[in-house]
Amino acid sequence: MKRSELRKLVSEYKETEIKLSKSNKNTLNEKLKQLEHRYYHETGRMLKKDLEEIT
């Protein structure tokens, strides 16, 4: 996976997380889990952990 694709994945994760904080929908929870799994599969690292290190 290219860096640009990883950046897109991370931005999509952040947007979904913001939407989830505003509303509590199961579909958004599932989407977050899928994005986390995809990131882990591509990089071998946990997305939440990487985001904590960045911020």
Query: What is the per-residue DSSP string for the chain?
Result: --HHHHHHHHHHHHHHHHHHHHS--HHHHHHHHHHHHHHHHHHSS-HHHHHHHH-
Which pTM does this prediction carry?
0.71
Per run of 10 residues, the mean pLDDT along the chain (length 55 residues) is 84 89 83 92 88 74
**What is the span of the domain harbouring residue 7?**
3-54
Q: Would you state the pLDDT for residue 36?
A: 92
Size of the chain, expressed as the number of residues it contains: 55
Q: Would you state the pLDDT for residue 20?
A: 85
